[in-house]
Structure 1
């Protein structure tokens, strides 16, 4: 199981980390693309601002490779070479969605682009430029010059007429270099992310072990309660068997003496006294039904009157073994305290198990003699008024207290006129 958990954890760690690295790499690439594009848009605006508009207008009159075009071409080359751009050019916008190259500054090994050649700027960006807006494209795959990113800035004549768009093409390798630099600078953050993921898995593993340990401890406490309860049931059965044998001897003796009317009266009284407590119509929870029956039987064998005040509820907001912990320990303490009681009050135990609005009310009241010290230390772990050396002694009410705290409930304790009253609200 541990090997499976570790293997699955490593697989998830690698998968999630890999996905995060890919997503981060993509995000960094897009961020670098936007940053680089905005930087070159600023450069294009500067170039367009200092462009000789009159010379360019003169060129547009003929659209021939004349002195005005060469002057503009030289001006563009002054900017292209220092910033190592692929191309710096001027586009013409007409009634179509296809821009035309009019003047371009190119690397020495590239032939000049014919005047009016179609440009690869996407139609959506051409429309954007016609609306007077700057643009930048995604990575464009060129036919002969690899991949590049284009930016464009419209520029105008003195009277406000749009003359064209000044464009710059940037090699995609420059963009990749920027992305690599950003990724390299974030390597420490990636490492922190991996460490965090490993730490998170370690925390999950530790919490899982703690949960299993707590569950095991709870099961052990429940097992102790059940074993203790089983022991009491066996004692009750032995006591009942002893009583039955005594009753049979009496009946046999009466029959031998032919006192049949006395036999009939004795059997009638025996039937009344031996009738078990009928809780089946008042307790819906089968767990509580069995527990209350066994405790009533034990109380009956000890000549203790046990009464119940119950609702027709399953009390399903409380886990069954926690419900058993509460009532088994409360009733055990009540039975043992009442059994040794030597005062003037009747030996009674009253059990309350009801719902009050959104709260559950669990309470037990019994006759008992408690010293001032016992009253103060009743809920302390390990304290007991009994002399038995069993390991579960002295922890019953502490278990009840811990269970109540688990559900953020309240415990009310009162002792008056040789009666102990413990009430729990959950």
Structure 2
């Protein structure tokens, strides 16, 4: 059985292929839509122009002569007079056919008089016309019409327009119809497509640029997410290591106490054993933060740091209200206070001044803001104070994984919440205040 290996490059290639196919399809659809709308707009514009020509033709038609043709329906002098009139207009407007239509009770119009191009049989009186029933109905109700493009085997593409005309008494005599060649519309459509090639190319480049920006942003987001994950894992491992060290130190002390107690019991020094147990009770101080801190992650962190400070003979006090500080994620709270307290513990551990070796921690809600602060004694040079939040800067001589980056991690976390961070150094005491 073959095992499947995840290949990110294959996924990216597949994404690019799908994107190109979609882009090609959208471009093709845009070209077709542009071609169609151009042809449709040209068709409507041309039809409206020829409707005006047909109205002019209908106004100049000899109605009395035409009524005689309508009554006789013969190829006679009256028919020839009307035909000559239509032929003059056909030549002038460069139309395929110019003719008149007569109606009956059906939805089929019939040709009465027609002017055809040379060589085409124009003796077609009474022959049904190809005008669709919908347009025939419009003409019967006194409305002008134009058809969609008709594909004729002999004459190619054309549209037919018609205008009803009336005698002096207002009686409808028929329709003046014109068939207009539309083969040139294909040429117009191709010209439009050709003229839009540059625009289409710009569209493609724009989409390609947009995809590049999205891909770059995606890569940046994944890189940022990976960086945060590595940072969080590093801090988690560091804190777990400190917890284990605290447990080991506590176990070591417990074993020593048990050995002493066992020795006293073996020697039957019961009074001395009782005094030793009382002394252990006095010296073993614990900090119960479970009822004071609503955020469990923050509670565990403070408990661990307090125990760490106790093993180093430092005092750590807390001023905390009952807020759970829910607007800040637990991981970000750990990033802030873990680095602040680690720096404070290291600073107090190397401090040789006259101030007590104590660390004071504050977590309060002031209005709609959170106020976090850590104060401890330390000795800082002017250079230390200037470069306090510079990347990779440290006041320690020995580097660790997080050394030199702790305050930068704090600063990035504070910036994430659009907060403010202030540092104050006075009389060998440093105070860092964070407002979120």
- Specify if TM > 0.5: yes
Change (3 A) 1:49 1:402: same
Indicate if the aligned counterparts of 1:90 and 1:101 stay in contact, CA closer than 8 A: yes
Number of aligned positions between the proteins: 424
Asked whether 1:31 is paired with 2:38, we answer: yes
Indicate the SS of the match to 1:278. Answer: coil
Task: Specify the alignment match of 1:375 in structure 2.
Answer: 385
Asked whether 1:137 is paired with 2:144, we answer: no
Indicate the SS of the match to 1:151. Answer: strand
Indicate the SS of the match to 1:421. Answer: strand
Choose from 385, 396, 405 the match for 2:395.
Answer: 385
Q: Deviations over 1:262-305 (max 9, x none)?
A: 53344345346545433334445443343333222212212223
**Larger mean Cα displacement after TM superposition, 325-334 or 40-49:** 40-49
1:154-303 matched pairs, under 5 angstroms: 165-252=175-262, 254-255=264-265, 258-271=268-281, 273-274=283-284, 276-303=286-313
The alpha-carbon deviation at position 129 of structure 1 amounts to: 8.4
Cα root mean square deviation, aligned: 3.6
Task: Specify the alignment match of 2:3 in structure 1.
Answer: none
Choose from 11, 18, 25 the match for 2:25.
Answer: 18
Asked whether 1:341 is paired with 2:348, we answer: no
Indicate the SS of the match to 1:364. Answer: strand
Task: Specify the alignment match of 1:9 in structure 2.
Answer: 16
Q: Deviations over 1:306-346 (max 9, x none)?
A: 2341545373x545543332222112112212233334443
Query: Could you list the runs of 5+ residues in structure 2 that have no partner in the other structure?
Result: 1-7
Normalising by the residue count of structure 1, what TM-score does the alignment of the two structures yield? 0.82
State the distance in 1 between where 2:124 and 2:410 align.
91
Indicate the SS of the match to 1:176. Answer: helix
State the distance in 2 between where 1:264 and 1:81 align.
132
State the distance in 2 between where 1:127 and 1:292 align.
88
Indicate if the aligned counterparts of 1:156 and 1:162 stay in contact, CA closer than 8 A: yes
Query: Could you list the runs of 5+ residues in structure 1 that have no partner in the other structure?
Result: none
Change (3 A) 1:44 1:423: same
The alpha-carbon deviation at position 397 of structure 1 amounts to: 0.5
Choose from 42, 49, 56 the match for 1:49.
Answer: 56
Indicate if the aligned counterparts of 2:66 and 2:82 stay in contact, CA closer than 8 A: no
Normalising by the residue count of structure 2, what TM-score does the alignment of the two structures yield? 0.80
State the distance in 2 between where 1:29 and 1:252 align.
100
Asked whether 1:399 is paired with 2:409, we answer: yes
Indicate the SS of the match to 2:158. Answer: strand
1:77-116 matched pairs, under 5 angstroms: 77-80=87-90, 85-91=95-101, 101-107=111-117, 108-109=119-120, 111-115=122-126
Indicate if the aligned counterparts of 2:419 and 2:435 stay in contact, CA closer than 8 A: yes
**Larger mean Cα displacement after TM superposition, 399-408 or 349-358:** 349-358
Choose from 314, 333, 341 the match for 1:304.
Answer: 314
